Structure 1
């Protein structure tokens, strides 16, 4: 009888251990060092084209990790960059793709009503493989497509670190 009770206890502890292991997740996230590198590279990419921008980098939860504002970038670019980064991280998509969806799909039009969302081009997710670890948002270039180009250039500068 003791052997049956002991075997049952072992089985229950194994089941409980397996269930609790599934409750814990491991995920990659944006480090401060990486965020600063992306922000600096993004601002530099825009500066090379004479665009004075702000670059905001957020972690996977959309929380600001780094912000760099170029000399002569307008004050509005700070909020725009942060809003685009938050939106991209939250949706795990580019803000340009989201804008296109909002314009073409009446059902998606209410995305612009989500607090903190800024559905304008210039927000790009940062990925390790297929996992979004954060996003970069850019404000200040003369067009969202140019903001996005700078964001992509900033991410490309750290591509070796995103493996």
Structure 2
């Protein structure tokens, strides 16, 4: 019986060792989308909006908010570059979709001060892209006739890559 307890204790300590070693490591490991996967999401989002009759711009940013891919349909407005980028950046920065952030930062709400910052855009159309519970990118869509429709197209972009990022 003592031998069994010793072996069990030894097995448990062996399993815990990699976790402790990882915590002591000087480096952090993270994942971001490959450019090809980011492009697939952006094009799928744009095509989803196009099928619905909307001309949009789509930006995919990495988990740090840096642009990876931008696509713009031929008749999308000039403003869509900036708004799509800011929506994607805002989603990864605040770790939430921008439609929800818009409600949380509405005038009179406790977090309304976020709207005074220069970069965030609390307007629907920005979504976080997650894989295995970790943020890997953000996608922002701009140009549909409403922020809820931008968000639907962004979700179509994410749906287009789910098989590639689900692990």
TM-score, normalisation: structure 1: 0.85
The answer for the alignment partner of 1:139 in structure 2 is 142
Structure 1 residues not aligned, in runs of 5+: 1-16
From the superposition, tell whether residues 48 and 134 of structure 1 become closer, same or farther in structure 2 (CA, over 3 Å): same
**Residues 126 and 136, structure 1, Cα contact 8 Å, conserved in 2:** yes
**Residues 30 and 58, structure 1, Cα contact 8 Å, conserved in 2:** no
Alignment root-mean-square deviation, CA: 1.8
2:73 to 46, 62, 70: 70
Written as runs of structure 1 = structure 2, the 5 A alignment for 1:1-163 is 18=21, 21-103=24-106, 106-163=109-166
Give how far 1:148 is off: 0.1
Count of residue pairs the alignment pairs up: 148
In 2, Cα distance between the equivalents of 1:64 and 1:113? 23
In 2, Cα distance between the equivalents of 1:144 and 1:54? 13
Give how far 1:18 is off: 4.1
Instruction: Describe the SS at the equivalent of 1:107.
Output: coil
Deviation string for 1:52-105 (max 9, x for gaps)?
000000000000000000010000011110010000011111000100111276
Instruction: Describe the SS at the equivalent of 1:68.
Output: strand
